[in-house]
Amino acid sequence: MKIDRRTLRSGEDFAAVGLAEARTVDLVSEHYAVAMTPLLAELVDRADPQDPIARQFVPDLRELETAEIERPDPIGDHAYSPVKGIVHRYPDRLLLTPLLHCPVYCRFCFRRERVGGAEKALDEAEMQAALDYIRDHEDVWEVVITGGDPLMLPPTRLAAMMQALDAIPHLKVIRVHSRIPVADPDRITSDLIDALRIERATVWLAVHCNHERELSPPAIAALRALSRAGIPLLGQTVLLRGINDKAETLEALFRALVANRVKPYYLHQLDLAAGTDHFRVPVEEGRALMRDLRGRVSGICQPTYILDIPGGHGKVPIGPAYLEEGIVMDWQGGAHDYAPDRR
C-alpha cells in the first residue's frame, strides 16, 4: 500500500492507512507520544497481524497496563542529571540530550514518559550550561549524544554543537545515537553529514535497528553515505518478544547490518519502562539466543548482551558464560574440561 508522505501522528492517520483503530491510538496518545514515518508505514505487511515493524511503532492498548516491576525512570536518568541535558553516570563519559523529540516513537522506549512531550530542544542558555559542564569535567573522554534523536536538529544547529564539543581538548570521542538512518533516511543529507564531520575528535554513529526488514533500500543508501563519509557505524538492538526473539531473526539482522558496514554493538535486555511488559523476553531466553548465535555467525556479527541496571547503576554484560568451574561449553553445547589454572 502506498502511504501518504507524512508522519502518522493521530488515530485518524493510523486508521486511514489500515494500521490501527483510531480509538486505540488516541487512547494511547493521551499517555505516550505517537509517531510513525511514512517509510516505516510502507514497510508493514498488512497481511501479518504480528508484523515486526507494526509491533514496534503502532500503539497497542497493552501499553496502558503497567507491571509491578516497571518504573517511570527505569535507568535512573534523573538521579545522575547535574544540569539539564546532561546525564553523568560514569567518570569518563556522559550523555548529552539536546532534545527529546524523535521521528518515530518506539512503543517500548525507556524514556517514553519524557520523549515527545512538553520538553523541547535545549535553548541556547541551557546548551551553553551543558557544554560548560563538559568543559569543567576533564575526566570526560567521551560524550554520547542521545535524546530523543539528535539528528532531528537542523544541520546548522547540529554543526554548531559538534564544533563546540570538538573544541573541548579532553574530549576525544563523540558518539551519536539515532534511529533516523533507518526510520527517516531522507534526513541523511549532505548537509547533515557535513555537520557530523569535525576536525579533531572521532565521531561514531550508533544506529538503532531491531529487524532486518527495517533496512529498506533508502536506509541502506543512508548507511552507505555515512560510512563513505568516514563515520564508523555501530548497531544497537533491543531484544523484543514477537519481533526478534528467534535466533534466525537475529542472525538475519546482524548479517544485514555487517553487510552494510554497521558493527552490532549491543543487544539490550528491555528496560523496565511502564507499559512494555508484553515486549519483555526473559534473560535466560536471551542467553540461550546468544549461545545459538555463537555458532551461527562470526565474531564480527556478535553484539554484547547488555542490561542497564535499574536505578542508574550502569550497563553490564549478562552472558551467557561459557567457562565455569573448569568446564567450557562449545558453540554446539558440548562440554570440555579446561582447568589450566589449577596447578
Catalytic residue, candidates 55, 102, 277, 291: 102
Task: Answer for the pair 207, 214: CB distance below 8 angstroms, yes or no.
Answer: no
Pairwise CA distance, residues 156 & 181, whole Å: 19
Angle at 50 between CA 44 and CA 54, to 5 degrees: 35
Mark whether 308 is an active-site residue: yes
Mark whether 106 is an active-site residue: yes
CA 152 to chain centre: 15
Catalytic residue, candidates 9, 71, 84, 93: 93
Task: Answer for the pair 271, 74: CB distance below 8 angstroms, yes or no.
Answer: yes
Catalytic residue, candidates 51, 107, 109, 291: 109
- Report which residue type is found at 176: V
Which residue in the block uniquely carries the three cell numbers 527495517?
214
Which residue in the block uniquely carries the three cell numbers 543487544?
267
Catalytic residue, candidates 55, 89, 107, 114: 89
Mark whether 46 is an active-site residue: no
Catalytic residue, candidates 26, 71, 84, 90: 90
Pairwise CA distance, residues 43 & 220, whole Å: 14
Catalytic residue, candidates 107, 111, 175, 187: 111
Mark whether 277 is an active-site residue: no
Pairwise CA distance, residues 262 & 29, whole Å: 33
Catalytic residue, candidates 13, 51, 271, 277: 271
Cite the beta strand spans of the chain per DSSP E. 86-90, 93-96, 142-145, 173-178, 202-208, 233-238, 262-268, 304-308, 315-317, 323-324, 327-329, 335-337
- List C-alpha distances in Å: 64 to 10, 24, 35, 43: 17, 11, 17, 26
- Burial letters for 179-189: b for 16+ Cβ neighbours within 10 Å, e otherwise? bbbbbbbebbe
Mark whether 271 is an active-site residue: yes
Pairwise CA distance, residues 118 & 129, whole Å: 20
Mark whether 90 is an active-site residue: yes
Which residue in the block uniquely carries the three cell numbers 542497564?
308
Mark whether 93 is an active-site residue: yes
Catalytic residue, candidates 32, 105, 106, 291: 106
Task: Answer for the pair 59, 28: CB distance below 8 angstroms, yes or no.
Answer: yes
Mark whether 111 is an active-site residue: yes
Residues annotated as catalytic are 89-90, 93, 102, 106, 109, 111, 271, 308, 315
